[in-house]
Structure 1
């Protein structure tokens, strides 16, 4: 019985440790944001009559929490690749969100974000284009 236990226990412990490592993933790689050109960006909402807005891209993580800009929020990278980034964030007392950024080029991105801000839900999609210096 002891031999059988060791035979099955070791692979199970290994698989459980892999699962725990994946679940306890620390803040991941936000390198995609570092590849974007710095300067003034125009955000044009898709699928609505909302006017465009502008954002000066200096600190690149401002794109991950547009609805909570200026707040110190805890961010967690859910998924990261060379052309896509998914970030979940939580701003204590102000809400939380999930943002997906897809890079077309260093000057064109697509953003989808949804969450809660000041106890109200939000959801938006926008195209971002670099327009010039800040």
Structure 2
């Protein structure tokens, strides 16, 4: 009888491990923050400054490399949740940066970025608001 209890207990433990593994595998993944942002015209208003700039963004990833636009860079996601992403990137020959983007809504973000661009250090913090569709380019 003792042997049966040991085998039975071991069997329950194995079932528990299998169930725990399948539950962990089915746990929801964080929403891709960058994909959740709207494409279009974004207005970035620097914290502590009145001068805003407008950018046409296709995919939230365009907000990661503000000082290295259009450059092919290696990226490393350091942290990501459904509301926050921190990305470190290196652009060979052009510099590097680290950007933290916090999503308030799909149309409102807070962004902080710092690094080196073209040999000069930069630091930038702004609020970004989606303001509409990008202007259509002439055919």
Question: Considering the TM-score relative to the shorter chain, is it more than 0.5?
Answer: yes
Report if the CA contact (8 A) 2:38-2:59 is conserved: no
Map of 1:58 onto structure 2: 58
Note the residue ranges of structure 1 that are not aligned, 5 or more in a row.
Answer: 1-28
When the two chains are superposed, the root-mean-square deviation of aligned CA atoms in Å is: 1.4
User: How far, CA to CA, are the matches of 1:112 and 1:34 in structure 2?
Assistant: 19
Q: Aligned pair in 2 of structure 1 residues 30, 95: CA closer, same or farther (>3 Å)?
A: farther
- TM-score when normalising by structure 2: 0.72
Map of 1:25 onto structure 2: none
Report if the CA contact (8 A) 1:30-1:77 is conserved: no
1:62 Cα shift?
A: 1.1
* Structure whose CA Rg is larger: 2
1:132 aligns with 2:132: yes
1:48 Cα shift?
A: 2.9
Deviations 1:99-131 (A, max 9, x none): 000000010000000000111100010100000
1:61 Cα shift?
A: 1.1
User: How far, CA to CA, are the matches of 1:78 and 1:30 in structure 2?
Assistant: 15
How many residue pairs match? The answer is 105
Query: Which aligned runs of 4 or more in structure 1 are off by greater than 2 angstroms?
Result: none
User: How far, CA to CA, are the matches of 2:49 and 2:109 in structure 1?
Assistant: 18
Map of 1:42 onto structure 2: 43
